Amino acid sequence: MVDLLDCTVMPYAWGSRTAIAELTGSTSPSSTPEAELWMGAHPMAPSRVTRSGDAACSLEQVIAANAERELGSHVTSSFGPRLPFLLKVLAADQPLSLQAHPNAAQAKAGFADEDRRGIPRDHATRSYKDQSHKPELLCALVPVDALCGFRRIADTLLMFDELGVRELEPVLAGLRTSPDAQGLRAVFGSLMTMPSHEGSRIVRAVVTACESTRSPAFAREHAWARKLDALYPGDVGVVSALLLNLVHLEPGEALYLDAGNLHAYLSGVGVEIMASSDNVLRGGLTKKHVDVPELLRVLDFTDGPVAPLRAQAIDAHERVWKTPAREFQLSAIQVAPNEAVTRDARGPEILLCTEGAAAIVPGDDSREIVLDRGRSAFVPASTGRYTVRTAGPARASLYRAAVNLT
């Protein structure tokens, strides 16, 4: 049996009022920002299902009732009786906070430490909401701009030399004498721990320089610094952002973010998949809690360029974005009118339709599910083989979320 999902939209302030509404066929513009459409069984906002003859319940409850049937023995033995991934549509009209995620060992230790200190798990100052790491992949549906990882140090020093901000020189001194990960840690740590009045003064000087410089090499970085300052005036995250790679994704290109990667999505819409976790350590450009010592502990200060990840073809209908994450694998399926594609479920799967309409037919010929644009379905591991065909005159495009176990 394949289950049609009823999913929650998260109304974070940075979200779009049009992107998710138009994808799902809702009223556009929406009355509040719509930032993320969650598809999965995360306890914070599990999707809901209605099975024939049963009352509506959460996907989390469905899995808990029979994990072997829903997840399969391989997934259950590897990750326990829970869906190991969370699928989202992310729609950013404004930049997200600078943030990073812990690795598995750091997540377990941080969770235990905050429990020992008596920080409620739903408290605003809590960084570790669970014991899982959170590798993630974002695939662009429209052009996306993002900050991702520390730029090559030589290029960063060149950029700041061109800006010529005298007030910033004491901060950069450590990087000039130690142009490596240790120097980057010193610069970032200095920015994050300086008094707010000093930080505001440096931000103002840097933004003024970005407004007046005519250097073409870093024009996009300077423009984003001005935008970020307009949203978060005086926030040292404006300067920290200038240490990072500014990455542009065209539709179909993706970013994979492993533990310790300092990043921020700036604008655009994409399909995002991650290990099912809500552990976030923020580093600026936010009014939310920032735990500087913990952030410095988990950050990876390796420098270097970031190349967009491109999908690899599996066959004529499906292409996959390969990552080392065991919890998830994201691929895209396209079906032309009057075509049908048969697939074998790789454990539990979620299918999201982003173009046209598709019918999902389980191999046992039980009730088919029709996915209109913006709708999603859960495919239990017990489904085995299923078929995807178009349910309208146009081609259908779907994203397929599965577990990356072989």
pLDDT at 51 over 90: no
- Average pLDDT across the chain, whole number: 95
**Catalytic sites, residue numbers:** 282
- The confidence score (pLDDT) of residue 365 equals 64
Tell which residue, 345, 383, 339, has the closest CA to residue 359.
339
Residue range 7-12: mean pLDDT, rounded: 96
Compute the average pLDDT of residues 39-65.
89
Q: What percent of the chain has pLDDT over 70?
A: 98
52 pLDDT more than 70: no
Task: State residue 214's pLDDT score.
Answer: 84
pLDDT-derived band at 338, boundaries 50, 70, 90: confident
Element containing residue 295 per DSSP (H, E): helix 292-298
- Identify which of 305, 352, 399, 345 has the alpha carbon closest to the alpha carbon of residue 71: 345
CA trace torsion 176, 178, 184, 189 (10° rounding) = -90
Residues 115-141 have a mean pLDDT of 93
Least confident segment among 105-109, 361-365, 377-381: 361-365
Measured distance CA(163)–CA(209) in Å, rounded: 6
Q: Residue 50 pLDDT more than 90? A: no
Given this model, what pLDDT does residue 215 score?
Answer: 83
Binned at pLDDT 50, 70 and 90, residue 181 comes out as very high
pLDDT at residue 1, rounded to an integer: 82
Averaged pLDDT, 168-175: 95
| 83-104 pLDDT, tens digit each | 999 999 999 999 999 999 999 9
Say if residue 53's pLDDT is above 70: no
Residue 390: φ, ψ to 5°:
-70, 150
Using CB atoms within 10 Å of the CB of residue 249, give its burial: 0 to 12 exposed, 13 to 18 middle, 19+ buried.
buried
% of the chain residues with pLDDT over 90: 91
- The predicted pLDDT at position 65 comes to 94
pLDDT band at residue 122 using 50, 70 and 90 as cut-offs? confident
pLDDT exceeds 70 at position 283:
yes
Q: Which domains does the chain have, with CATH numbers?
A: 3-147+249-281 (2.60.120.10), 152-242 (no CATH)
Q: Average pLDDT of 116-135?
A: 91
Structure tokens at 373: 């644009």
Average pLDDT (37-50) is 94
**What number is the average pLDDT over the span 143-155?**
98
d(CA 141, CA 144): 8
Does the pLDDT of residue 368 top 90, yes or no?
Answer: no
Per residue in 206-226, pLDDT (tens digit) is: 999 999 988 899 999 999 999
pLDDT by residue (tens digit) across 301-310? 999 999 999 9
Closest by Cα among 92, 98, 88, 95 to 34: 92
- Mean pLDDT across the stretch 23-44? 96
